[in-house]
A and B are shown apart, each in its own frame.
Chain A
Amino acid sequence: MHPDVLVIGAGITGMMAALHLSDGGARVTMVDAGENAGTWANAGSLHVQMQSRFMRLYPDQVPAVEASLPLYKAAAEEWVRLDTLYGPFELVRKGGLMLAEGAEQLRFLEAKAQRETARGLSVELLDRPALDRIAPWLGPQIVGAELCHDEGKLNPLIANARLLAVLGQRGIATLRDRILAISQDKGGITVQGQSASYRADQVIVASAWGAGHMVQGLGVTIPTRAEPLHMNITEAAAVSISHLIQHAERSITLKQLGQGQIVIGGGWPALDRGRSMPPGVLAASFLGNVALAARLVPQIGGLRVIRTWAGMNTTADGGSTIGRLPQAQGVVMALPGDAGYTLGPLVGRMAAQVALGAQPDADMARFAPARFAA
């Protein structure tokens, strides 16, 4: 008997869960509200090392992130696998540089690098002369950096379009509906949507910020929150920046796409304008984010920013949530932790394995939804 699985949420996590389910022989359908998916707004950075922005904003969540560092490394490798199978997605894995502007920041990075090495990441500390050999365009105030070889970047527009086409070839349909509640009975799962009600043997919940509310009645309180963020993009220049650039203390990601544009972001807040409209861009975020980029990489000063956009990121407790709900075994959660686009494909695959009755190759207890038992 093939399980009949409904995947709620058609972002990167839901899409990849559906693909693995289908490859595993399951009949699968997706349902999505078509609202503010992070997947269609994200910047395509493949994050592996701990992000300082995150460590500063959510110090209580650091232990959870640190414990899942091996997951990030495996997630980046999952992207490489997808890139080979369905790409190319302009995926480049030259590593990520986290910059230090003073001795104290360098010490912070040193300590961080030790913790990350202990978790199996490939990191090294570079002084300025070493940096000059690979990134001579950095501002003069940069004294050194941590280089994480596992990191990289890809073009999410290309990746999303290609993967969507693969789902199309498999005949996996996406229904447009807003899911209000999920309940389980002896015969299976009932999913209540705004315009219809759906039955399935199992359900995978990959609805990011919309997930907590949906499973409220099923014995868990998952504190998923929508976090509006914005990004900036410049006109194209000859490609000279091959690393993903971050900062030891401040919120920034900067990278250059294969087509030459420079993408600047790093989690600057945007304005929530409700469900029917994408978030708005705030003056302080726009100015602060781009100005910081210009200080770190002065040579972009002559380029023009041509566009900004904003979308919804999701936060919960920093860690990923993957596995069956204790009180509703037919409901499998698939919620990536921080840097959800990096994690999405792997998390989707692991959730699909759980639904298919297989045991993913990871310490699943760490991701168990039971930690949110109400």
Chain B
Amino acid sequence: MTGQPAGHFTFDGKSVPLRPGQSLAAALTEAGLRSFRQTAKGATRGIFCGMGVCQDCLVTVNGAPNRRACMTPAVAGQDIRTQVPFPDLATAPNPQPAAPARVIAPDLLIVGGGAGGLSAAIAARRAGASVTILDERKVGGGQYFKQSAVSGPLDAQQSAGADLLAQALAAGAELIGEVEIWGAFDGLLFLAEHKGAALIARPRAAIIATGAYERPEIRPGWTLPGVMTTGAAQTLWRSYRTLPGKRVALVGSGPLNLQVGLELAQGGAEVVMIAERGPAPWLRPIAAAALALSGPALAWTGLRSLADLRKRGVPVRHGAALDRIDAAEGALRVTLMGDLSPVIADAVLMNAGFDPQNEILRLLGAEAIYDPAFGHLRITRDDTCATTVPGLYAVGDCAGLGGAPAAMAEGRIAGRAAAAALGFGDGYDTFADQRQLGRARRFQRHLWALHDVAPRLPDVPDDTLICRCEEIDAGQIRAGLGEKPGHAGTLKRATRVGMGRCQGRYCGPVAARLVAAATGTPVQDRSYFAPRVPIKPVAISAILAAEEALKDAP
């Protein structure tokens, strides 16, 4: 691991070293600490999603409760404590806004500075529109380019991202990091929290490029500390040069597991197993050939990682699905379905596909259609990526999974179209981008056909948790289904499934599918929990600050 400790903070009184740029979650993981919070029912939790979504990595920072360790930079001298389920308000410091609220009104607001958002910014800015990009992360680049937050050499993916970021800034786009959008209202009013202060945006048009988050394997043991998404481990490694653990197992389906397995093996982790639900590509020669034809370079990269993994002696098991994970011998025991020889790992990484972060779009009323192959909603868009809401565009994975190359092509198309609609540039011929987009989408279709990310109804024992936050298990949900709820919202009110801090990011799609199956109706747009502000939990002090800033405004 690179870099010297830049100081120490304490965790429950014990000293923990940190390196510059590390998140609290990374520094704690590096120190071998996995349990960050206690739940109301006495379980412990740690980092899970690594991207601010699951709210399971909460810690108390200098007396302030419920801070996400994965999104909070580690700073020397911090007093970090295990988060208790019911913090005492009387002893918590009452946060004062760090700065006065800021109100911005760019021509075009872009939410999300990943592959799609940055590409959109460059196109719109070059056409002459003023552009502000907001991103929750400290550094832009998004999930594909995952910029490093600590100093160290960049890999090829990271240098391409650094390049795109530089282009966006050179074009004159403003990028504000550490901004969490929590509210979106009709007429395009966006409310956000920026380092404890309020940020208010009233753009003329907006492009949403918030990407996707990972779909987990909902199996017994999936909430244990040390079990995290594959992307969380990738962020630990690529952004913070921290390994998720010494011995690592990966489960689920999709190309990310292979890629991250290889990255971690190269980084010095012992990858004890990669279990892929899908059959081996050599058993599906036609599908594999179709993939190779649709994107020879990318397909080749994929095959090379498989060969590389084999060379390193990493067991890659195709057609293998996770059964359960148990705490054992200070580590985790991973058992596959129909398998009698479990493996022991320090960290279990799971990825079984992706779900779009479409909350802002749905909140603003953008229409969407369910895609049964991927098991998620696709936002209805015209060929300029405009949604059904005037002035609102959607690009990249938030509109439905498409991958980074498609996100970039969509960004260029939408950036140009949004600028033209505002009177900047002529939205000139997008033929080349449309063609690239077509190719990227074809590749994605063939790619996922080789994996198995079909959404499942959870076939788990009654005591397996479905809702991480409220700790609602499959038995409680089955009992709730017995009352014949007509909608996921009814099941929610009856069982509390989805009522916690992550707002149903993981259990919500499951509840929608279960209710649809029980009522014999197809899943559709309205099957999901109703979208509501705030789309992410927001501190009351930040709401107070926003109210003060908007009070006197018209």
Residues A308 and B547 in contact, CB atoms below 8 Å apart: no
> Cβ of A301 and Cβ of B88 under 8 Å apart?
no
- List, in ascending order, chain A residues with CB within 8 A of B544's CB: 290-291, 294-295, 301
Taking CB as reference atom, which chain B residue is nearest A299?
B89
Q: Does A103 contact B (CB under 8 A)?
A: no
B524 to chain A, nearest CB (A): 13
A288 touching B86 by the CB < 8 A rule? no
Most chain A C-beta atoms within 10 Å of own C-beta, residue among B66, B88, B483, B530 = B66
> Given contacts A299-B89, A302-B65, is CB(A308)–CB(B532) below 8 Å?
yes
Contact of B543 among A260, A298, A305 (CB under 8 A): A305
* B312-326, CB < 8 A from A: none
Q: Spot the interface stretch: A47-55, A188-196, A277-285, A365-373.
A: A277-285
Check A57 for interface membership: any CB of B closer than 8 A: no
Whether A306 contacts B500 by the Cβ 8 Å rule is yes
Binds A, one of B92-100, B334-342, B432-440, B448-456: B92-100
B542 and chain A: residue at smallest CB distance: A304
- Complex CA distance for A164 and B537, rounded to whole angstroms: 31
> For residue B494, which residues in chain A have a CB less than 8 angstroms away from its CB?
157, 161
In the complex, the answer to whether B547 meets A287 with C-beta atoms within 8 Å is: yes
Q: Which residues of A contact B483 (CB under 8 A)?
A: 164
B486 at interface by CB-CB < 8 Å: yes
Q: Which of A59-86 contact B (CB under 8 A)?
A: none
User: Which single member of B94, B486, B530 contacts A299 (CB below 8 Å)?
Assistant: B94
Contact A308 B534 (CB under 8 A): yes
The stretch of A9-17, A146-154, A230-238, A319-327 in contact with B is A230-238
Q: Does B32 contact A (CB under 8 A)?
A: no
Q: Are A294 and B537 in contact (CB under 8 A)?
A: no
B541 in contact with A40 (CB, 8 Å):
no
Q: Which residues of B contact A283 (CB under 8 A)?
A: 183, 185, 189, 191, 550
Is A179 at the interface (CB under 8 A from chain B)? no
| Residues on A with beta carbons closer than 8 Å to the beta carbon of B191 | 283, 287
B496 CB–A CB distance under 8 Å: yes
**A306: nearest chain-B partner, CB-CB:** B537
| Chain A: interface residue total (CB-CB under 8 A) | 43
Least CB distance, A300 to chain B, in whole angstroms: 5
Please report the C-alpha to C-alpha distance between residue A34 and residue B484 in the assembled complex, in whole angstroms. Answer: 13
Docked-complex contact B86 and A260, CB < 8 angstroms: yes
CB distance from A231 to the nearest CB of B (A): 11
- Minimum CB–CB distance from B39 to chain A (whole Å) comes to 11
CA distance A271 to B89 in the complex (A): 33
CB-CB under 8 A from B102, the residues of chain A are: none
With A283-B185, A287-B547 as known contacts, state yes or no: A239 contacts B86, CB within 8 Å: yes
Please, what's the 1-or-0 string for A153-166, where 1 marks a CB less than 8 Å from any CB in chain B?
00001001100100
Q: Is A259 a contact partner of B40 (Cβ separation < 8 A)?
A: yes
Instruction: Flag if B89 contacts A291 (CB, 8 Å).
Output: no
B503 within 8 A of A: yes
- Does A240 belong to the interface (CB within 8 Å)? yes
Q: Is the CB of A236 within 8 A of B86?
A: yes
Main secondary structure of the interface of B (DSSP, over half): loop
Q: Is the CB of B87 within 8 A of A237?
A: yes
Q: Which of A161, A277, A305 contacts B538 (CB 8 A)?
A: A305
Complex contacts, B501 vs chain A, CB 8 Å: 235, 304, 306
Expressed in whole angstroms, the Cα–Cα distance for A227 and B546 within the complex equals 26
Q: A282-B185, A286-B183 are in contact. Are A137 and B503 (CB under 8 A)?
A: no
Using known A-B contacts A157-B493, A287-B546, A308-B532, determine if residue A298 contacts B86 with beta carbons closer than 8 Å: no
Q: Which residue of A lies closest to B87 (CB)?
A: A237
**Inside 8 A of A133's CB, which chain B residues have their CB?**
none
A130 contacts which chain B residues (CB < 8 A)? none
Q: Which residues of A contact B92 (CB under 8 A)?
A: 299, 302
How does the 8 Å CB contact mask read for A22-58 relative to B, with 1 for contact and 0 for none? 0000000000001000001000000000000000000
A300-B493 in contact given A281-B533, A295-B544, A306-B534 (Cβ < 8 Å): no
Q: Is residue A180 within 8 Å, beta carbon to beta carbon, of the partner chain?
A: no
CB distance from B185 to the nearest CB of A (A): 4
Task: Give the contacting residue for B539; candidates A280, A287, A301; CB below 8 A.
Answer: A301
- B176 at interface by CB-CB < 8 Å: no
Complex Cα distance, B238 from A10, in Å, reads: 55
B532 contacts A303, C-beta separation under 8 Å: no
Contacts of A305 in B (CB 8 A): 534, 537-538, 540, 543
In the assembled complex, the CB of B370 is this many whole angstroms from the nearest CB of chain A, namely 18
Of the residues A34, A234, A281, contact of B540 by C-beta under 8 Å: A234
Give, as a whole number of angstroms, the nearest-CB distance from B472 to chain A. 13
Interface status of B90 (Cβ within 8 A of chain A) = yes
Which residues of chain A have C-beta atoms less than 8 A from B496's C-beta? 157
Q: Assess the A302–B95 pair: CB atoms within 8 A.
A: yes
Known: A237-B86, A299-B92. A309 touches B532 (CB 8 A): yes
Q: Chain B residue with minimal CB distance to A271?
A: B186
Chain B residues 515 to 540 lying within 8 A of chain A, measured CB to CB, are 530, 532-534, 537-540
Q: How far is the CA of A34 from the CA of B183 in the complex (A)?
A: 29
Partner pick for A308 among B93, B533, B539, CB 8 A cutoff? B533
- Cβ of A307 within 8 Å of any chain B Cβ, yes or no, is yes
CB of A304 within 8 A of CB of B548, answer: no
- What separation, in Å, do the CA atoms of A281 and B364 have in the docked complex? 11
Expressed in whole angstroms, the Cα–Cα distance for A240 and B162 within the complex equals 49
Kindly state whether residue B296 has any CB partner on chain A within 8 Å: no
Q: How far is the CA of A51 from the CA of B65 in the complex (A)?
A: 34
B499 part of interface (Cβ distance < 8 Å) = yes
With beta carbons under 8 angstroms apart, the residue of B40, B65, B548 that contacts A291 is: B548
Q: For the complex formed, measure the closest distance between the CB of B80 and the CB atoms of chain A, giving whole angstroms.
A: 16
A-side contacts of B88, CB under 8 Å: 237-238, 240
CA distance A277 to B530 in the complex (A): 9
CB contacts (< 8 Å) of B503 on chain A: these are: 306-307
A-B contacts, 27 listed (Cβ < 8 Å): A137-B90, A161-B493, A236-B85, A237-B65, A237-B87, A281-B532, A283-B183, A286-B533, A286-B543, A287-B191, A287-B550, A294-B544, A299-B90, A300-B540, A301-B95, A301-B544, A302-B64, A302-B92, A302-B95, A302-B539, A303-B66, A304-B501, A304-B537, A306-B503, A306-B534, A309-B530, A309-B532
| Chain B interfacial positions (CB closer than 8 Å to A) | 40, 64-66, 85-90, 92-95, 183, 185-186, 189, 191, 483, 486, 493-494, 496, 499-501, 503, 530, 532-534, 537-541, 543-544, 546-548, 550
Lowest 7 CB-CB distances: which A-B pairs, in order? A291-B547, A304-B537, A287-B547, A238-B86, A301-B541, A283-B185, A299-B89
Q: A161-B494, A301-B539, A306-B534 are in contact. List 7 more A-B contacts (CB 8 A).
A: A160-B493, A234-B540, A288-B547, A302-B64, A302-B540, A304-B539, A304-B540
